[in-house]
Amino acid sequence: MVVVPPGEFDMGEERTSLMRDGSLRPHGPVRRIRIERPFAVARFELSEAEFENFAADTGHRIASDCDLSAQEHAERSRRIDAEQAAPNAALPVVCVSWRDAETYVAWLVRRTGKPYRLLTEAEWEYAARAGSAHTWPWGATTQGICMYANVLDASAMAILQDHPVSQVPDAAVTCDDRAATRAPVGQYRANAFGVHDMVGNVWEWVADCSVLPYVDQSTDGSAMTLRTGECTHRAIRGGSWRSRLERQRVTFRGRDPEQTRSDIFGFRVARSLLD
């Protein structure tokens, strides 16, 4: 875990993204957020092995309605990259729903007696930015992105020629981050807070009910909850190795039904710090 200090930041961006259904997804409006207390966040995304330990201990059923992509199955069998094939390479868990993630952190609380939880959406963006006011946590452009993140790059595009993302203009970066699919956690440079893989690799579920846009949501960094009615979508952040470049931005607001499982959806844990 890494302790993230309190502070203020401008959450969101005056920007929209075109979605598959033709709608425009707002990244904003921009609002000033004050994180008043430090909190702890996992240095890495949760690994397959960590989730399997939980499943073995609790009998929690691992998803049978989700499988790795054909590209990842092929990549795993070829083992082109020696670092990917190393016995101690901890791949981030995928095919977990928001409900799975919530069940995992509840188990972790019972096992440790410590207040583990998911990040709020505001905490996630604050931790991902790591004090940067630029477009990207490392600077104003995507130059150098392949040193910091496993994103849609040259090696991924080479095996996604039949995937719809290959037809999207400017979806990929031209550099090569050395991973065609998922990469072991912690393989790329950490951000200024010492946290790895906030951008790319796998999407990360967060605690919030996702309501668009940000209007009328809190500015203290707490999670968005609904007073009445059912939450239809949960927030998910950070992009993945197969996501178009625009969706890797720390301001892009992913949202999906909480029961959704995907071969590019994972999570990381956070912990409240007691006085």
Q: Which tokens sit at 262?
A: 């995907």
* Half-sphere exposure (Cβ direction) of 92: Cα atoms closer than 13 Å: 35
Residue 128's contacts (CB-CB under 8 Å, 6 or more residues apart) are 137, 191, 195, 198, 199, 237, 238, 250
Gap between the Cα atoms of 173 and 151, Å rounded: 8
Q: Tokens 């410590």 belong to which residue?
A: 114
Quick one: pLDDT at residue 80? 47
Helix (H) or strand (E) holding 25: strand 24-26
Q: DSSP secondary-structure letter at 152?
A: S
Gap between the Cα atoms of 31 and 37, Å rounded: 18
Compute mean pLDDT per 10 residues along the chain, 275 residues long, and list them: 97 91 90 96 97 96 81 66 57 96 98 97 98 92 94 92 86 92 95 97 97 86 83 95 95 95 97 88
8 A C-beta contact, residue 192 and residue 9: no
Total of domains in the chain: 1
Number of neighbouring beta carbons within 10 Å of residue 137: 21
Supply the range of the domain harboring residue 205: 2-272
CATH number at residue 248: 3.90.1580.10
